[in-house]
């Protein structure tokens, strides 16, 4: 008897803080959650287009003892309730509770799930096969782009959160490199690894990125 082949599905991997919601220092209380203005619209477009939408988020606050894993799960449930009011939803949330240096007890570990490593992506792959050619990692930090590249999906940087600062610094560095000035910033070692093939797109808002994805996939 032949094995059953699961259908691959295009997947949107989203960072959480600074991408879906406003940056709040160690966000864990539902009352502090503020979705970014275009986030629900973007998620709804992906839902309607047939993408599986998942969140992959580093949650070092758990490792540091600031809040519990149960608090993370509760916040994610609340986020989906808020999104549901806009006819949108996240299909699955994945989080890393570890930190290699500042963790407490068993949470102090150099794990495989903390971005830019790809453990959360691999778990998503086990939970439902990912069509990597038509999937995307979207976030506001270089570690999000690097994680997406390592996993083998398309990438986009969003201008919310830290994204605009990252993008502006990247453009400045590219100009300086072209001019052979030899000048470097402390962050250039990380940025220089992100060749143009790693960073597929920059959008000012998550809705801009969603519309780019749909155009690229012929769904708009």
pLDDT tens digit string along 11-29? 999 999 999 999 999 999 9
Domain that includes residue 39, residue range: 11-216
**139-154: average pLDDT:** 95
- Whether residue 3 lies inside any domain: the answer is no
Q: Which residues are catalytic?
A: 15, 17
Q: How far apart are CA 122 and CA 113, in angstroms?
A: 9
Q: What is the pLDDT of residue 198?
A: 75
- Whether residue 1 lies inside any domain: the answer is no
**114-139: average pLDDT:** 97
pLDDT tops 70 at residue 8: yes
- 123, with CB counted inside 10 A (0-12, 13-18, 19+), is middle
Query: Picking from 51-55, 113-117, 136-140, 187-191, which range would have the lowest pLDDT averaged per residue?
Result: 187-191
- Whether residue 94 lies inside any domain: the answer is yes
Closest residue by Cα to residue 193 from 153, 146, 152: 146
- Whether residue 2 lies inside any domain: the answer is no
3-state secondary structure the chain: CCCCCCCCECEEEECCECCCECCCCCCCCHHHCCECCCHHHHHHHHHHCCCEEEEEEECHHHHCCCCCHHHHHHHHHHHHHHHHCCCCCCCEEEEECCECCCCCHHHECCCCCCCCCCHHHHHHHHHCCECHHHCEEEECCHHHHHHHHHHCCEEEEECCCCHHHHHHHHHHHHHHHHCCCCCCCCCHHHHHCCCCCCCCCEECCHHHHHHHHHHHCCCC
Its pTM stands at 0.89
- Whether residue 100 lies inside any domain: the answer is yes
> pLDDT averaged over the chain?
89
Q: What is the pLDDT of residue 154?
A: 96
**45-61: average pLDDT:** 98
Q: Which residue bears the tokens 């979705």? A: 35
How many distinct structural domains can be found in the chain?
1
Q: What is the pLDDT of residue 173?
A: 76
Q: What is the pLDDT of residue 195?
A: 45
- Whether residue 6 lies inside any domain: the answer is no
Look up the CATH number of the domain holding residue 75. 3.40.50.1000
- Whether residue 81 lies inside any domain: the answer is yes
Q: What percent of the chain has pLDDT over 70?
A: 88
What are residue 202's phi and psi, to 5 degrees? Answer: -120, 130
Question: Residue 178's pLDDT band (boundaries 50, 70, 90)?
Answer: low
pLDDT tops 90 at residue 136: yes
- Whether residue 180 lies inside any domain: the answer is yes
């Amino acid at each position: 008897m032949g094995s059953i082949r699961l259908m691959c599905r295009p997947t949107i991997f989203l960072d959480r803080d600074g991408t879906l919601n406003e940056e709040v220092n160690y966000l864990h209380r539902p009352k502090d959650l503020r979705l970014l203005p275009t986030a629900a619209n973007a998620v709804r477009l992906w839902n309607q287009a047939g993408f599986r939408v998942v969140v992959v988020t580093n949650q070092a606050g758990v490792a540091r003892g600031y809040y519990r894993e149960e608090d993370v799960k509760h916040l994610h449930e609340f986020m989906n309730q808020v999104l549901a009011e806009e006819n949108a939803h996240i299909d699955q949330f994945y989080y890393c509770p570890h930190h290699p240096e500042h963790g407490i007890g068993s949470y102090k570990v150099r794990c495989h799930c903390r971005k830019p490593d790809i453990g959360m992506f691999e778990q998503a792959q086990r939970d439902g096969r990912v069509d990597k050619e038509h999937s995307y990692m979207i976030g506001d930090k270089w570690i999000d782009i690097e994680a997406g590249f390592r996993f083998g999906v398309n990438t986009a940087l969003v201008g919310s959160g830290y994204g605009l600062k990252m993008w502006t610094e990247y453009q400045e560095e590219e100009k300086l490199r072209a001019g052979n000035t030899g000048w470097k910033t402390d962050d250039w070692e990380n940025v220089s690894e992100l060749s143009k093939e790693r960073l597929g797109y920059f959008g000012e808002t998550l809705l801009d990125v969603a519309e780019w994805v749909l155009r690229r996939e012929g769904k708009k």
